[in-house]
Amino acid sequence: MSIDLLVQALLNGFGLAMVYVLVALGLTLIFSILEIINFAHGEFYMLGGYVTYYAFAVFGLNYFATLGFAILAVGLAGVVAERLIFRYLRGKTLNAFIVSLGLLWVMQASAQLSFGVLDKPVPSAFSGIVRAFGLVISVERLVVSLSAIVLIAALYLFLRWSRPGRAMRAVAQDADAAALQGVDIELVSALGFGIGCALAGGAGGLLAPVFAVSPAMGALPVVKAFIIIIIGGMGSLPGAVVGGLLLGSVEGLGSLFMGSAAVSVLGFLVVILALLVRPRGLFGGA
């Protein structure tokens, strides 16, 4: 087998991996601040998809303006969900699981009732392909991947340097100690949940033209995000990026040798293997 084919397979695998990393980063950010797993995360992704459909495909807004709008709108929806529901569930993992499940059903049913059950196609903003070094990639996927990388970088800078970002990291490390230092836990919790959802919304906006928009579209990226988080370690941002690259390369290379069903089994087997070697994920803390 030629090296070109292997590299091309890797590139195909990486193609959408960065978008799934965005979804995973949202999940892991919410987990590290509120200690809950938000099962309705994929529904915020779905919301981003519908915002994109209406703003871009129906009203004809600019692609990148649409993306920004989707991120803001879904982030706002996340803040509302946190204030109304999730702030009462901080640290109650089991209860939050049930509640987020309820929210998942509510959001999916609302989407079905208001947008219909049928897939809504979103036209591609970019066409054509790029050839370089004997490799082929579509412009659309390139833009999607690069946009995702920009968003990941923005999140990193925000958490690393900004005041609210540092407050978030402080709460993630030790909420009580952060509160004693004057960090407003309520504010950080609402902001963290909102940003987490905004990332999912951005991912939904990015993938809306790649796949179609539908009420159940959130299931696949969330499963991938879970795999990424387990590999990389819960609550770790670099872990999520590495986990995404690992999953992307395993899926890309796997698709050379086996069918898509077997590839999805492969993803879960990588998870189990990773946990056997590093029970808390590659970058997980103690």
Partner 1 sequence: MEPSRGFGAPIAGLALLAAGVVALPQLTRDSYYLDVATTILMNLALTMSLRLQVSTGQLNMAHISFMGIGAYASALLVTRVGISFWAALPIAAVVAALLAFPIGGLALRVTGPYYFLITFAFSEVVRLFFNNFFVDLFGGPSGLVGIPKPSALPWFGRALTFTTKLELYTLMAALLLVTAAVLVRLEHSRFGLVASAIRQGDLLAETLGVNVFRYKLTAYVVGSLVAGVAGAHSHQVLHSSDFGLEPMVLLVVFTVIGGTGSVWGPVAGTVLMTIAGELLRELHHYESLVFGVVLILTMLWAPDGLVALPGKLARRRRAGVSLAP
Binding site for partner 1 (CB under 8 A): 31, 37, 85, 88-89, 92-95, 97-99, 101-106, 108-110, 112-113, 223, 226-227, 229-230, 234, 261-262, 264-265, 268-269, 271-272, 275-276, 279-281, 284
C-beta of 40 vs 183, nearer to partner 1? 40
C-beta of 79 vs 104, nearer to partner 1? 104
List, in sequence order, every beta strand (DSSP E) within the chain: 129-132, 135-138
Q: How far is the CB of 199 from partner 1 (least distance, A)?
A: 19
Q: How far is the CB of 266 from partner 1 (least distance, A)?
A: 10
C-beta of 144 vs 227, nearer to partner 1? 227
Cα(first)–Cα(last) distance of the chain, in Å?
42
Helix, strand, coil proportions of the chain in percent (round to 5)?
Answer: 75, 5, 20
Q: How far is the CB of 270 from partner 1 (least distance, A)?
A: 9
Q: How far is the CB of 106 from partner 1 (least distance, A)?
A: 4
Name which of 11, 21, 69, 10 is nearest 203 in CA terms. 21
C-beta of 90 vs 169, nearer to partner 1? 90
- What is the spatial distance between Cα 281 and Cα 276, in angstroms, rounded to a whole number? 9
Q: How far is the CB of 72 from partner 1 (least distance, A)?
A: 25
C-beta of 31 vs 56, nearer to partner 1? 31
Q: Quick count: other Cβ atoms within 10 Å of Cβ 94?
A: 10
Distances (CA, A) of 34 to 75, 91, 154, 246, 254: 16, 6, 22, 27, 36
Residue 213, SS3?
Answer: strand
C-beta of 27 vs 57, nearer to partner 1? 27
Q: How far is the CB of 223 from partner 1 (least distance, A)?
A: 8
Q: How far is the CB of 271 from partner 1 (least distance, A)?
A: 4
Distances (CA, A) of 72 to 47, 78, 165, 194, 229: 11, 10, 17, 9, 24
In sequence order, the β-bridge partners of residue 137 are 130
C-beta of 256 vs 275, nearer to partner 1? 275
- What is the spatial distance between Cα 80 and Cα 103, in angstroms, rounded to a whole number? 12
Q: How far is the CB of 107 from partner 1 (least distance, A)?
A: 8
Give the long-range contacts of residues 254-260, CB within 8 A, separation 24 or more: 255/9, 255/12, 255/13, 256/1, 256/5, 256/6, 256/9
C-beta of 66 vs 100, nearer to partner 1? 100
